[in-house]
Structure 1
Amino acid sequence: MNKVLLIDDDVELTTLLQEYLAEEGYDVATDTDGRAAIAAAAGNSVDIIVLDIMMPRMNGIEVLQRIRKLSQVPVLMLTARGDDVDRISGLNLGADDYVPKPCSPGELAARLRAILRRASQSVVGTSTDTLKAGRLVMHPGNRTAEWLGEPLELTGTEFSLLEVLARNAGQLVSKQDISKRAFGKPLTPFDRRIDVHISSVRQKLGLREDGQSWIQSVRGQGYQLLLD
């Protein structure tokens, strides 16, 4: 049973979501204070955190920043509908996905299943293989990676996305293919998740000797991981 921590100061909403998710087979705890999420991340006591951005005392963005200093536990953000700034900020800081409020319990449950599935198994290939692409080494079985011989810290979503590019290293992969293979769903219009996650992975890989990114983009088409 996956353990979910739901952080939101809207008690009525959290009660509704908690009851629904419990019926879906999740072990759900709730809290109104983001500090509970930080403690859970530090103690590795939950499988995923659902975090509202707009909260008193400490907002969700600040909480996410602190969580990512401690843990790569999956985090799904609850954002105000239409607020692209908060969504992009959350993804840039390592959130795995977001759901705009008000959200239906069914939509939230579906997003949780998708994130947890990505976190627990490889999106392609077997669970025991080692994937090598140039200077990148990935271990889908335990979802760890090394870059230039050093551990590469990736969120679950970043790992899934980079794995798709690594399995097609040197080739252009369309955004639609990335979305289907890494996230298990088709890309929707105006969805910037892939672009934001790619930006984060680029920062972690650094630049090539020629000053270019290791992940090249072809405008309107997709992305390509370079080998050399």
Structure 2
Amino acid sequence: MSFHILLLEDDVALARLTKDFLQQQGYVVSLASHSQKAQLLLKQQQIDLLLCDVMLPGQSGFEFVAQIRQSYPGPILFMTAQTQLQHQLTGLGLGAQDYLLKPLDPRLLLAKIQVFLPKETAKAQSDTSTECRQFNLLLNSQCRSVTLAGQPLPLTHAEFMLLQTLLLQFGKIVSRNWLFREQLGREYDGMDRTMDGRVSRLRKKLQAVDPNWNIVTAWGEGYYLSYENSPAV
């Protein structure tokens, strides 16, 4: 499985160099030089991570992220020459996971990306069985597809990763702290509702097809996947 990165950067030479480097590391990279094209790509393709410049023609990177953040749940990394603290605070306040300062060593960029799209995870998934099934739910990690009650279930990358984790540990509680570290790249602070929102959206998609499915919140611990009130183990 190759993760898909969208690079929103109006410096054509830098964009091509960055794309070439990341593709050599095994990632799929799409380029956009302005926000309109980036928005179109987000609608048309499965994007796993957004690399976004701040100073762009027309709509700025900050304005673009503010516009799409509710509809795009994946990780966002700002990549810009704007060094002022207020710019960094603004970017992080918009929900970005990091704010990277140009000029940026490509090795550092790769390290930052691998926090959210680790190559080891992709390799581990390809080395194990590609299919996981419970009752009428089938997940294929190689095709990154989910079928529920015989029909395709469209999921975002974040929802797919969450479902895969819960399905592999079916009926067992998966720690909220572990999910934050492994899927969000940060520690759970006791207040952050990001994972709760992700769980809620995935639960609604499952139950819209088959109400017997549920993601149960074990208060103070985490979550587990159940079917017809299957108990946690």
Letter in 2 for 1:143: R
Q: Encode CA deviations 1:103-143: one digit per residue, 9 max, x unaligned.
A: 68566533423544479837658444321123321111211
Going from structure 1 to structure 2, the CA distance change for 1:161 and 1:3 (only over 3 Å counts) comes to: closer
Partner of 1:220: 220
Identity %: 20
CA contact (8 A) 1:172 1:222 kept: yes
Q: Encode CA deviations 1:33-71: one digit per residue, 9 max, x unaligned.
A: 1122245457769885424689744723545778x7xxx
Matched, 1:60 2:65: yes
Structure 2-normalised TM-score? 0.61
Going from structure 1 to structure 2, the CA distance change for 1:209 and 1:173 (only over 3 Å counts) comes to: same
CA RMSD of aligned residues (A): 4.6
> Aligned partners of 2:172, 2:29: CA distance in 1, in Å?
42
> Paired residues, what number?
205
Structure 1-normalised TM-score? 0.62
1:219, distance to aligned residue in structure 2 (A): 1.9
Partner of 2:99: 101
CA contact (8 A) 2:126 2:142 kept: no
The structure with the largest alpha-carbon Rg is: 2
> Aligned partners of 1:59, 1:116: CA distance in 2, in Å?
22
> Aligned partners of 1:8, 1:83: CA distance in 2, in Å?
16
Q: Which stretches in structure 2 are left out of the alignment for 5+ residues? A: 79-87, 229-233
> Aligned partners of 2:185, 2:4: CA distance in 1, in Å?
24
Going from structure 1 to structure 2, the CA distance change for 1:103 and 1:123 (only over 3 Å counts) comes to: farther
Partner of 1:77: 76
CA contact (8 A) 2:146 2:153 kept: yes
> Aligned partners of 2:206, 2:177: CA distance in 1, in Å?
23
